[in-house]
Amino acid sequence: MARSSVEVGPVAAVAFSASSVQAGAAVGATLFPLIGPFGVTGLRQVVSAVALLAIARPPLKRLGLRRLTPALLLGVVLVGMNFSLYSAVQRIGLGLGVTVEFLGPLAVALLGAGATSRRATTARIACGALALAGIVLITDPLAGARTDPVGLAFGAAAAALWAAYILLGQRAGALPGVTGTAVASLVGTALTLPGLVLLLLAVPPAALPRVLLLGTVTGVLSSALPYSIDLLVLRRMPRSLFGMLQSLHPVAAAVLGLLVLGQVLGGVQVAGVAAVCLANVLAVLAARR
């Protein structure tokens, strides 16, 4: 019983984190016409840095550069991941963009499994083939219009960076509290702030309060809250299980894309999302056996 109670808490935390990320992404997508994907990325970083630095107040000098290096690299990865994802969402929608990005956690689940038997190798290949089939379905080849290839490329870039986020996040999580997230957000702010200022100066004055308000909501829901949860959860959860639970992200993205942005997926595309999620779950289950 004690073991079950310990496991339920982190799993519920990951589920909440996934829903929060996609809710924030949906809100942020409404700002694309005014500040574009880079502007939304910058606002996320600023809000996250302000909130987390106020809470964590990391003792940077005492920790030293060597211990802070994973968190510094994590900041660079977060900027690239968020910008790539938003660029994909702008072109192919939230549900599909997040599903393609989800190939990153799937790769972690497949490559991180320790088994090397022929049966394990076959299982990995099968899961990879299922994920590939899901991506093909997402492009809906039977439909008249093809999915934007540039959007798919941005989604693939976000996938690679999400895998790096999981690997670096586990190391950055070794820092006390949410120091790792706070430092990463500070690095992200330094990288995006100049461009963000220029974009905000170009926003019509009447629209600026709305941009700042929704940008704050986006930053809290998509960065400050879920990334802190993820770093804390990774201390108590195997990396492969964490990767499996990321299958909640495409589902949450599809639902919130529909509710907030009015983005409707076709039946074939829904099947593609389900196939990618299932491939991840099966990959981790096979590895655990």
Q: What pLDDT does 1 receive?
A: 41
**pLDDT tens by residue, 193-206:** 999 999 999 999 99
pLDDT single digits (tens) 30-59: 999 999 999 999 998 898 888 777 766 666
The DSSP 8-state label assigned to residue 146 in this structure reads P
- CA angle 36-226-196, nearest 5°? 25
Cα within 13 Å of Cα(281), Cβ side: 11
Residue 112 has pLDDT above 70, yes or no: no
Q: For residues 284 and 281, give the distance between their C-alpha atoms in angstroms, rounded to a whole number.
A: 5
CA distances from 136 to 127, 141, 186, 190 (A): 14, 7, 38, 38
Which single residue is written with the structure tokens 């016409």?
33
- What's residue 136's pLDDT? 82
pTM over 0.85: no
With cut-offs at 50, 70 and 90, classify the pLDDT of residue 115.
low
Q: For the residues 212-220, what does the mean pLDDT come to?
A: 91
Overall average pLDDT of the 102-129 stretch = 74
For tokens 């990005």, what's the residue? 101
